[in-house]
């Protein structure tokens, strides 16, 4: 049987309480980070990407409308006429705007992919901590509970005098 010299049972109880508080806090923090990352990834998937896809479509329509207006002006007037300058500028402006929108869509797609990969890497790196907070710390608390119970039983056994079966309670009184 193992022997130990325990001088302060309250210290073991304090460690037990600290472990419980740490496990709860660690678990809450990990859940919060997971939820925040999941929310951001969902936002990029459901709002970010579709929004920029819609903007690209709208700007393509604007470019097509500007080209149509330029073609209509060119048919109406000679192609070198100064009246087509505004329509050419409108086509150039629409082309720049569509390029900007396509660039932003590519960025959002890249961010989405990078965030998903970073989240996978994060989950892999915090898996040991999650395991510790979810399983190892509760097991340690259970072991401390068993130690405290055993120490209390030992203390009770040392405090309570043995009862002699041959002596009645009145005989043992002075």
Contact predicate 90/136, CB 8 Å:
no
Domain positions in the chain are 9-159
pLDDT in tens, 74-126: 888 765 566 788 999 999 999 999 999 999 999 999 999 999 999 999 999 99
pLDDT in tens, 30-70: 999 999 999 999 999 999 999 999 999 999 999 999 999 98
Q: pTM of the predicted model, to two decimals?
A: 0.66
Contact predicate 141/16, CB 8 Å:
yes
CA distances from 152 to 9, 139, 147, 148 (A): 9, 20, 8, 6
Chain position carrying tokens 């302060």: 8
Contact predicate 72/90, CB 8 Å:
no
């Amino acid at each position: 049987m193992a022997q130990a010299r325990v001088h302060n049972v309250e210290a073991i109880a304090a460690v037990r309480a600290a472990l419980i508080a740490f496990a709860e806090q660690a678990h809450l923090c990990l859940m919060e980070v997971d939820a925040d990352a999941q929310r951001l990834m969902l936002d990029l998937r459901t709002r970010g990407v579709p929004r920029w896809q819609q903007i690209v479509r709208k700007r393509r329509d604007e470019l097509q409308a500007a080209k149509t207006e330029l073609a209509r002006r060119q048919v109406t007037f000679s192609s070198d006429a100064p009246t087509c300058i505004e329509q050419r500028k409108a086509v150039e402006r629409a082309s720049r705007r569509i390029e900007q929108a396509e660039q932003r869509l590519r960025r959002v797609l890249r961010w989405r992919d990078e965030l998903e990969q970073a989240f996978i890497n994060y989950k892999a790196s915090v898996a040991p901590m999650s395991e510790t907070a979810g399983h190892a710390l509760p097991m340690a608390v259970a072991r401390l509970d068993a130690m405290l119970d055993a120490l209390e039983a030992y203390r009770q056994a040392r405090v309570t005098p043995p009862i002699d079966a041959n002596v009645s309670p009145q005989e043992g009184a002075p």
